Amino acid sequence: MTEEKASENKQMTEAGKVTELKDEVVTTTHEIIIQGQPLHYTATTGIMVMKDEEGKARSKIFFIAYTKAGSDTNSRPLTISFNGGPGSSSVWLHLGVLGPKRVLSGDVGRVEPPPYRLTDNEYTLLQASDLVFVDPVSTGYSRPAPGEEARQFHGLEKDIESVGDFIRLYVTRYKRWNSPKFLIGESYGTTRAAGLAGYLQDRHGMYLNGLMLVSVILNFQTARFDPGNDLPFILFLPTYAATAYYHNKATLGNGKQDLKSFLTEVERFATHEYTLALIEGNQLAEPERRQIIQQLLAYTGLSAEYLQQTNLRIYIHRFVKELLRENRRTIGRLDTRFKGLDRDAAGESFEHDPSYSAIQGAYTATLNDYVRSNLAFESDIAYEILTGLYEKWDYSKHQNHYVNVAETLRSAMSKNPFLQVLVANGYYDLATPYFATEYTMNHLELDPTLRNNITLTYYEAGHMMYVHEPSLAQLSQDLLAFVEKSIRVNRPAE
Tens-digit pLDDT profile for residues 325-380: 999 999 999 999 999 999 999 999 999 999 999 999 999 999 999 999 999 999 99
pLDDT of 7 reads 41
pLDDT of residue 132 exceeding 50:
yes
pLDDT of residue 4 exceeding 60:
no
* Mean pLDDT, residues 30-38: 95
Query: Do residues 42 and 1 touch, judged by C-beta distance below 8 A?
Result: no
Query: Do residues 420 and 482 touch, judged by C-beta distance below 8 A?
Result: yes
* Mean pLDDT, residues 46-55: 95
Phi, psi of 225 (to 5 degrees): -85, 65
Torsion sign over Cα 119, 123, 127, 128: negative
* Burial class (CB within 10 angstroms; exposed 0-12, middle 13-18, buried 19+) of 387: middle
CB atoms near residue 393 (< 10 Å): 19
CB atoms near residue 197 (< 10 Å): 28
Query: Do residues 32 and 101 touch, judged by C-beta distance below 8 A?
Result: yes
Q: Cα separation of 329 and 184, whole Å?
A: 34
Which residues fall within 8 angstroms of residue 14, CB to CB, at 6 or more apart? 147
Q: What is the pLDDT of residues 365-412, one digit of tens each?
A: 999 999 999 999 999 999 999 999 999 999 999 988 999 999 999 999
How far CA 290 is from CA of 43, 263, 286, 296, 323, in Å, comes to: 61, 22, 6, 10, 20
Angle at 209 between CA 98 and CA 491, to 5 degrees: 120
Q: Cα separation of 308 and 321, whole Å?
A: 17
DSSP-assigned beta bridge partners for residue 34: 37
Q: What average pLDDT does the chain have?
A: 94
pLDDT of residue 9 exceeding 90:
no
Q: How confident is the model at residue 323 (pLDDT cuts 50, 70, 90)?
A: very high
Domain residue limits, the chain: 10-221+360-490, 225-351
CATH superfamily of this structure's domain 10-221+360-490: Alpha/Beta hydrolase fold, catalytic domain (3.40.50.1820)
Q: Cα separation of 185 and 405, whole Å?
A: 14
Task: Give which of 78, 82, 101 is closest to 92, Cα–Cα.
Answer: 82
Least confident segment among 20-29, 140-149, 360-369: 20-29
Task: Give which of 418, 417, 456 is closest to 440, Cα–Cα.
Answer: 456
% pLDDT > 90, the chain: 91
Torsion sign over Cα 69, 485, 91, 189: positive
